[in-house]
Amino acid sequence: MCPVLLRQSAPSMTADSPDPALVSRLAQESRQFDGTATDQERNCWMAVHRHVHGMLPSEYDIREVPEPLYLAVLARRRELDGAGA
């Protein structure tokens, strides 16, 4: 199942690029979900969802997240995981 993405910017990011400190923090936070699934895409989406909506998604939650933020967090997570390999 693919995460639902939103193409609007959130208050914590500029129109084109998310705040690098926020991206790094959320990439680190996404690791908290590795115990339930080691899917980077899922875990990054969950971290961004929690940041944007203030809670983890429920089973049928279809609320959107800002696509630029999600993609930046996923890219940073991949960088972090690649550096540790």
Single-letter residue type at 70: Y
CA gap 75, 55 in Å, rounded: 22
Place of tokens 């990439």: 27
Tokens of 85: 């390999």
How high is the pLDDT of residue 84?
61
**Structure confidence by residue, pLDDT tens digits, 28-79:** 999 999 999 889 999 999 999 999 999 999 888 888 999 999 999 999 999 9
| Ranges of each domain in the chain | 16-84
**Structure confidence by residue, pLDDT tens digits, 13-22:** 455 689 999 9
